[in-house]
Amino acid sequence: MSVVEVKGLTKNFGNICAVKDLTFQIEKGEILGYLGPNGAGKTTTIRLILGILKPDRGEVRLWGDGVSKEKLSRVGALMEQDGLYNRLSCEENLRYWGEIFRMSRNRIEARIEELLEHMNLSERAKESVKNLSKGMRRKLAIARALMHDPELLVLDEPASGLDPEAQVMIRETLAKLAKEGRTILLSSHNLSDVEKIASVIGIINKGELKFFDRMEKVKKMERGLVRIKVDDIDKTRRAIRNLVENIEIENEWLTVAIKEGIDFSDLISILTSSGVRVEDVMREEKSLEDLYLEVING
């Protein structure tokens, strides 16, 4: 059973189609990196999953059932707007949330201490939220989403406004939670962050899901370019001409584009068996950014 299952999900606002016929699943322990340009439909998808919006067509299932209060009690959410109470202090905000989720008094106090410490906000525990900086607010909002130790986390651009150190800390926290079996939907514009922790990538553009696959697949898609330094250029050219699409030569370096279906290791073994001495190799891999731009512009 998938943790989140979205089937044929469609939502229009007037004549704007915000999401169109979305279908995907997120399995337990996965981190879905949900990407797309401004206005693509990420936040709308998240609001539909959380039952904040009702779809025009299609459905959302959480742990096999429709969105209900009971299912939502197992979800921690962070939206674009952090929704904190300005006049309450950091700890009061978390305490209030813990009460909503019917956590025990002891558990609430222990969790407040643990999370404020983790977010480096312990010194601000009693300060009212309106005095916090933007990034501090974001960290507190993340702490609030984690407060009841939810099984599913749905986070809409959690790292926006965070300093580099805090971004790393949040990234590591999310990776750890996933390892422990929590499931995470993470919308983000930070591709290098997503590349480091996501196990599945979804790319949405103009309301349509254009790409959805495992991160390992994305990493293998790099068919890309290989630069090789060899002792004999002519011999190399003869040996590999059926494996590559294009060969460029610059001094002793050859840059080749490997054909689809051919492995990097095939290339190297053919060279060695043809008696070419490979002195150096550099692979240029396709990054998530390359894929993203191809999907969005292609």
Is residue 18 near ligand ATP by the rule CB under 6 A? Answer: yes
Contact 215, 47 (CB under 8 A): no
The token pair that represents 193 in the structure block:
């962050």
The item of ligand ATP, Mg ion, none sharing an interface with residue 108, based on CB under 5 to 8 Å by kind, is: none
- Kindly state the smallest distance separating residue 39's Cβ from ligand ATP, in Å: 4
The item of ligand ATP, Mg ion, none sharing an interface with residue 18, based on CB under 5 to 8 Å by kind, is: ligand ATP
The one among 20, 42, 138, 139 contacting ligand ATP by CB under 6 A: 42
Residue showing the smallest CB distance to Mg ion in the complex: 43
The one among 39, 64, 66, 275 contacting ligand ATP by CB under 6 A: 39
Rounded CA separation 82/91 (Å): 15
Length in residues, the chain: 298
The item of ligand ATP, Mg ion, none sharing an interface with residue 249, based on CB under 5 to 8 Å by kind, is: none
Is residue 44 near ligand ATP by the rule CB under 6 A? Answer: yes
Count CB-CB contacts under 10 A for residue 210: 17
Which of 125, 182, 179, 122 has its CA nearest to residue 148? Answer: 182
Contact 201, 219 (CB under 8 A): no
Please, which residues bridge with residue 226 across strands? 256, 283
The one among 22, 26, 35, 43 contacting ligand ATP by CB under 6 A: 43
Is residue 52 near ligand ATP by the rule CB under 6 A? Answer: no
Q: Which helix (H) or strand (E) holds 190?
A: none
CB of 197 or CB of 203, closer to ligand ATP: 203
- Kindly state the smallest distance separating residue 12's Cβ from ligand ATP, in Å: 9
The token pair that represents 189 in the structure block:
């514009």
Is residue 20 near ligand ATP by the rule CB under 6 A? Answer: no
CB of 53 or CB of 270, closer to ligand ATP: 53
CB of 36 or CB of 150, closer to ligand ATP: 36
Count CB-CB contacts under 10 A for residue 251: 7
Task: For residue 66, report the phi and psi dihedrals to the nearest 5 degrees.
Answer: -60, 165
Contact 82, 142 (CB under 8 A): no
The item of ligand ATP, Mg ion, none sharing an interface with residue 66, based on CB under 5 to 8 Å by kind, is: none
Is residue 33 near ligand ATP by the rule CB under 6 A? Answer: no
The one among 4, 22, 31, 40 contacting ligand ATP by CB under 6 A: 40
CA distance to 49, 66, 76, 186, 271, per residue, from 71 (Å): 11, 8, 11, 19, 57
- Chain residues that interact with ligand ATP, rule: CB under 6 A: 13, 16, 18, 36, 38-44
